[in-house]
Amino acid sequence: MTLFSFQQIFPTEESAINFILEKKYPNKQYVCPKCGCVHHKVYHQHYDVRKFYCQNCKSEFSGLVGTIFENTHLDIRMWLYAINLVNVSRKGISAMQLQRELGMKSYKGAWRMMMQIRKSIAKEDMKEVFEAIVEIDETYVGGKPRKKNKHDEPETNDNFNKRGRGTSKTPVIGVKERHTGKVHAVVANKNKDGKQLTGKQLFSVLNKVCKDNTTVMTDQFSSYNILDKPNSKNFIRLQIDHNVMFSMGNGIHTNGIESFCGLLKEVSMGYTTKYLQGICKVMSMNFVSD
């Protein structure tokens, strides 16, 4: 959405608040968060578009309660435009850039706004279902490997800066639907045995987003061998040997999801793993839009 079209849709703060309220309370089905009273005893206040009054418990509450806008004193249009900037930015947007775009005085306020938006996106469950042909790959996000020198700390974790499998960096699993270009990315947390990127974990990611009889393009990582066995989804695995080539010329490759993984590594530099899942969600959404 361009700035011109945004201003046409939301000319006033009231129009922005009403837009949110329509999404939160379809058909004006208002509910009091304090007593649970339904809409016929809950009234929208005229003096403040954000406020509601419950006749049952005689209390006033914000219609934005339970959203990231609940406690804000900023113009709601600033929040909606910030969300728009996050959505249209291929490589994401920094809090510093957001501060400049919105004309905010405080960097801390822009940073908080960015974190709230990312957290809300990270909470959204995957609703898309992939079919036909998908590509899957895993990548590792973390510090850049460097040569050891005398200034380094004692070797308490030799694997952190190691490249590839066996590193202590955080793994991310990405699945790309080839027809639509949609991507689903998820941080691969350790299982109860402390292992990551196991065959069961990779299969569960595919099982969540793919329909039955989907063709799955993989590399030769041994955990993908689980797809060669009979499974409940009847997945068909085609693999590419990257030691020989990156594309077999007949459509067997994982170049699409590898492109996403490369972009994710670039964007996630400087962020802790605490925010990585939110970044994955934002990147997945933006990657589709291109």
Query: DSSP string covering 162-230, please?
Result: --STT-SSEEEEEEEETTT--EEEEE----TTS--S-HHHHHHHHHHHB-TT-EEEE-S-GGGGGGGS-
Q: Find the mean pLDDT for residues 42-70.
A: 89
Answer CATH for 133-143+167-289 from 3.40.50.150, 3.30.420.10, 3.40.50.2300, 1.10.1200.10: 3.30.420.10
**CB burial class (10 A; 0-12, 13-18, 19+) of residue 32?**
buried
Given a cut of 80, whether residue 158 has pLDDT beyond it is no
| Residue-averaged pLDDT of the chain | 83
**Residue 237 is inside which H or E element, if any?**
strand 236-239
Percent share of the chain, pLDDT over 90? 28
- pLDDT the model gives residue 159: 52
Given a cut of 60, whether residue 289 has pLDDT beyond it is no
Q: Find the mean pLDDT for residues 85-107.
A: 84
For the stretch 132-147, pLDDT in tens is 899 999 988 876 555 5
- Is there a contact between 52 and 43 (Cβ–Cβ < 8 Å)? yes
- Is there a contact between 20 and 76 (Cβ–Cβ < 8 Å)? yes
How far CA 186 is from CA of 42, 94, 171, 200, in Å, comes to: 40, 21, 9, 15
Q: How far apart are CA 259 and CA 97, in angstroms?
A: 25
Q: pLDDT band at residue 238, thresholds of 50, 70 and 90? A: very high
